[in-house]
């Protein structure tokens, strides 16, 4: 009876929550009685519309304005406040927190599900602790979101008014979804212990699913606004909206951005809770507590790295679409003034890979069996460093005439070719394979195979890695340097397929070799040197910094446009700042964000002791 009434209340709650979302008329279509524009399809046909208007044909009931030509006077100024800086920092803060609070429920849901399937309460306790950290960050996300919105209202009213005319409907849906997400999050968190068994546990999992669906939908809507500013669609060259919001949402960069942000958020969110686990590990007073946070840190870093592996491919797709939409934006992105930020990006990504591998190598010490594999670490480290060096070798150097003369030209004769994309693609694929190898050795540390053909299996697996690397290098060198651009781009698909194949086949061979394996000694969670935890901190800081820098580049390649090719930025700040200035702004933002995050960790630990009573 109690369960049925709880279920009924739950259903009723969601019916009410979704009521505002029911369309009173077809969402996104022209208002009351208006016919769709003649000739308006997925791509707006301007000539037909112009003709129809001129001949007194079908007109929309509501005439959408063209994009206003903004002048300096249209941007309110406030003494002591730089509008661009204020909006930049507010948007960046909101994005960092939003990425974190959207991602954590995704893997909390998966961990909770794994706990139910494996019937292991430890998963449930860990999932609960993860969601507790994100709950504290949730309110700060809302605060920074408000700050961002108010900064736009105050400093960029012209742009906001134009975007609202197009996306007003979706903004209301966004607000509704935010309500749904908040309700789900609070039920999910506060109902954790009340709904811990039987059907109620499944219901709890259902709330978690709804929480993730609403959160992801929120991100997709916000992405539509951001990508519309880069690759506008559903508007004519003057910026006049065709009346169908779906045309504006479905712009060219929308889906690549959705996929890229979704994967990146999971990786990022996991790195932040990994830092929380490291913080708790370092401040733990008992062995039991250290063991618990060690396991938590391991799980978080595993999720973070697992999501990091496909991220370069999603980024590659997004970049290819940017090039596809506008070569000008594409060239500005990687070949122009922002090219050097990609070198910084390469250094930070290299730091991510190295810290993740270092953490795994330290993790081998948890089991006495790990000693067997420590001898391979130096070779893996050598390959990773070599690839890291290739990965951040610049192509075009900023040189004085005397330096250019000494070099014999603008490019270094030996290192110059390493600055090109085929070398970078080759390096990153090998780095991915060797990071997986570190993980494989880490997994092997606690086990000893009992199958007779284990040595042959090892030989086959070593051969798989060797053949994979040979194929990746062949694809990179032959098609990258001895063919044309079409081949260069296409061969990268084969490189990715090789990396995925190596990992997939290796997983199968490993599962056969270690079937019914025996333990190679007592596995001790918590038996980790303190320095390994700093690798987790480095992971979180690197991710935060990377997101800030690359987010800036993505947004700044629009140049002097608010909405690319449609609405010009007429403010006094309509210029691209120097890379050094941008790096300082993003770095300051990173410091502020990390300071707030450490405050959140401290708050979560304050309530932690009380909540642990349930465990």
Partner 1 sequence: MELPVRFAVSFIAAVAVFLALFLIMDVLILNALGLSFIFRG
The residue from 202, 459, 507, 591 that contacts partner 1 (CB under 8 A) is 459
Nearer to partner 1, 374 or 463 (CB): 463
Q: How far is the CB of 381 from partner 1 (least distance, A)?
A: 23
How distant is the alpha carbon of residue 540 from its chain centre? Answer: 13
The residue from 110, 320, 464, 477 that contacts partner 1 (CB under 8 A) is 464
The residue from 404, 467, 530, 606 that contacts partner 1 (CB under 8 A) is 467
Nearer to partner 1, 327 or 483 (CB): 483
Q: Please report the sign of the dihedral spanned by the C-alpha atoms of residue 191, residue 193, residue 194, residue 198.
A: positive
Q: Indicate whether 29 belongs to the interface with partner 1 (CB under 8 A).
A: no
Cα(218)–Cα(206) distance, rounded to whole angstroms? 18
The residue from 286, 402, 484, 485 that contacts partner 1 (CB under 8 A) is 484
Q: How far is the CB of 467 from partner 1 (least distance, A)?
A: 4
The residue from 8, 470, 530, 591 that contacts partner 1 (CB under 8 A) is 470
Q: Indicate whether 371 belongs to the interface with partner 1 (CB under 8 A).
A: no
Q: Show the tokens assigned to 219.
A: 């991100």
Q: How far is the CB of 40 from partner 1 (least distance, A)?
A: 33
| Number of residues engaging partner 1 in binding (CB under 8 A) | 28
Q: Indicate whether 498 belongs to the interface with partner 1 (CB under 8 A).
A: yes
Q: Indicate whether 50 belongs to the interface with partner 1 (CB under 8 A).
A: no
Q: Indicate whether 485 belongs to the interface with partner 1 (CB under 8 A).
A: no
**H or E stretch at 561:** strand 561-563
Across 337-491, where does the E strand assignment appear? 447-448
Nearer to partner 1, 404 or 493 (CB): 493
Q: Indicate whether 595 belongs to the interface with partner 1 (CB under 8 A).
A: no
Q: How far is the CB of 482 from partner 1 (least distance, A)?
A: 7
Cα(315)–Cα(539) distance, rounded to whole angstroms? 19
Question: Which residues are CB-contacts of 438 (< 8 A; sequence separation ≥ 6)?
Answer: 356, 357, 360, 361, 377, 380
Task: Provide DSSP, 95-153.
Answer: HHHHHHHHHHHHHHHHHHHHHHHHT-HHHHHHHHHHHHHHHHHHHHHHHHHHHHHHHHH
Question: Bridge partners of 44?
Answer: 40
Let me know the angle formed at the C-alpha of 435 by 433 and 438, rounded to the nearest 5 degrees.
115
DSSP state of 241: B
Residue whose tokens read 């690759």: 231
Distances from the Cα of 191 to the Cα of 184, 208, 494, 543, angstroms: 10, 11, 48, 32
Q: Indicate whether 451 belongs to the interface with partner 1 (CB under 8 A).
A: no
Residue whose tokens read 């995925």: 500
Q: How far is the CB of 315 from partner 1 (least distance, A)?
A: 20
Q: How far is the CB of 478 from partner 1 (least distance, A)?
A: 8
The residue from 482, 485, 504, 511 that contacts partner 1 (CB under 8 A) is 482
Residue 90 near residue 144, CB atoms below 8 Å: yes
Q: Is residue 464 helix, strand or coil?
A: helix
Q: Indicate whether 420 belongs to the interface with partner 1 (CB under 8 A).
A: no
Q: Indicate whether 497 belongs to the interface with partner 1 (CB under 8 A).
A: yes
Nearer to partner 1, 150 or 481 (CB): 481
Nearer to partner 1, 428 or 566 (CB): 428
The residue from 21, 61, 143, 493 that contacts partner 1 (CB under 8 A) is 493
Task: Provide DSSP, 243-297.
Answer: S-HHHHHT-TTHHHHHHHHHHHHHHHHHHHHHHHHHHHHHH--SHHHHHHHHHHH
Stretch that binds partner 1, among 60-68, 234-242, 263-271, 495-503 (CB under 8 A): 495-503
In 10 A of CB 602, how many CB atoms? 12
Q: Indicate whether 432 belongs to the interface with partner 1 (CB under 8 A).
A: no
Contact positions vs partner 1 (CB under 8 A):
455-456, 458-460, 462-464, 466-468, 470-471, 475, 478-479, 482-484, 486-487, 490-491, 493-494, 497-498, 501
């Amino acid at each position: 009876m109690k369960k049925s009434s709880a279920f009924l209340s739950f259903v009723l709650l969601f019916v009410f929550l979704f009521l505002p979302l029911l369309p009173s008329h077809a969402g996104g279509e022209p208002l009351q009685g208006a016919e769709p524009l003649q000739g308006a399809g997925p791509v707006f046909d301007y000539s037909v519309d112009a003709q129809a208007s001129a001949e007194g044909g079908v007109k929309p009931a509501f005439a959408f304005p063209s994009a206003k030509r903004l002048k300096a006077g249209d941007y309110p100024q406030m003494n002591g406040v730089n509008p661009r800086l204020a909006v930049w920092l507010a948007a960046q803060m909101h994005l960092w927190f939003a990425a974190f609070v959207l991602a954590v429920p995704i893997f909390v849901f998966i961990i909770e599900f794994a706990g139910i399937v494996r019937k292991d309460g430890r998963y449930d306790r860990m999932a609960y602790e993860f969601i507790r950290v994100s709950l504290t960050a949730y309110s700060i996300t809302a605060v920074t979101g408000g700050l961002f919105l108010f900064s736009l209202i105050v400093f960029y009213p012209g742009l906001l008014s134009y975007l609202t005319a197009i996306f007003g409907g979706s903004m209301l849906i966004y607000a509704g979804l935010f309500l749904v997400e908040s309700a789900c999050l609070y039920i999910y968190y506060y109902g954790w212990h009340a709904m811990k068994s039987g059907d109620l546990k499944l219901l709890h999992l259902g709330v978690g699913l709804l929480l993730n669906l609403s959160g992801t939908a929120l991100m997709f809507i916000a992405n539509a606004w951001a990508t519309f500013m880069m690759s506008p669609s559903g508007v004519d060259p003057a910026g006049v909206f065709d009346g169908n919001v779906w045309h504006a949402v479905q712009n060219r960069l929308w889906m690549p951005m959705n996929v890229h942000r979704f994967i990146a958020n999971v990786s990022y969110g996991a790195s932040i809770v990994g830092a929380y686990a490291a913080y708790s590990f370092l401040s733990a007073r008992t062995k039991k507590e250290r063991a618990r946070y060690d396991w938590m840190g391991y799980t978080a870093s595993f999720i973070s790295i697992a999501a990091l592996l496909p991220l370069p491919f999603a980024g590659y797709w997004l970049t290819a679409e940017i090039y596809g939409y506008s070569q000008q934006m594409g060239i500005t992105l990687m070949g122009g003034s922002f090219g050097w930020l990609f070198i910084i990006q390469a250094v930070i990504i290299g730091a991510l890979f190295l810290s993740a591998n270092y953490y795994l190598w330290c993790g081998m010490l948890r089991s006495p069996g790990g000693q067997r594999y420590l001898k391979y670490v130096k070779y893996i480290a050598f390959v990773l460093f070599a690839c890291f060096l290739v990965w951040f070798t610049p192509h075009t150097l900023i040189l004085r005439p005397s330096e250019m003369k000494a070099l014999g030209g603008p490019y270094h004769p030996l290192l110059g070719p390493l600055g090109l994309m085929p070398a970078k693609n080759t390096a990153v694929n090998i780095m991915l394979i060797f990071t997986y190898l570190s993980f494989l050795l880490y997994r092997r540390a606690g086990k000893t195979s009992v199958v007779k053909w284990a040595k042959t299996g090892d030989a086959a697996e070593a051969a798989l890695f060797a053949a994979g690397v040979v194929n990746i290098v062949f694809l990179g060198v032959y098609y990258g340097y001895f063919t044309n651009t079409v081949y260069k781009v296409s061969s990268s698909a084969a490189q990715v397929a090789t990396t995925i194949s190596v990992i997939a086949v290796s997983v199968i061979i490993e599962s056969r070799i270690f079937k019914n394996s025996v333990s190679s000694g007592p596995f001790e969670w918590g038996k980790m040197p303190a320095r390994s935890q700093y690798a987790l901190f480095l992971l979180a800081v690197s991710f935060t910094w990377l997101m800030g820098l690359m987010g800036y580049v993505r947004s700044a390649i629009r140049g002097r446009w608010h909405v690319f090719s449609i609405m010009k930025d007429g403010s006094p700040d309509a210029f691209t700042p120097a890379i050094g200035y941008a790096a300082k702004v993003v770095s300051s933002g990173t410091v502020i964000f990390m300071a707030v995050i450490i405050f959140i960790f401290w708050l979560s630990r304050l309530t932690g002791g009380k909540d642990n009573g349930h465990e």
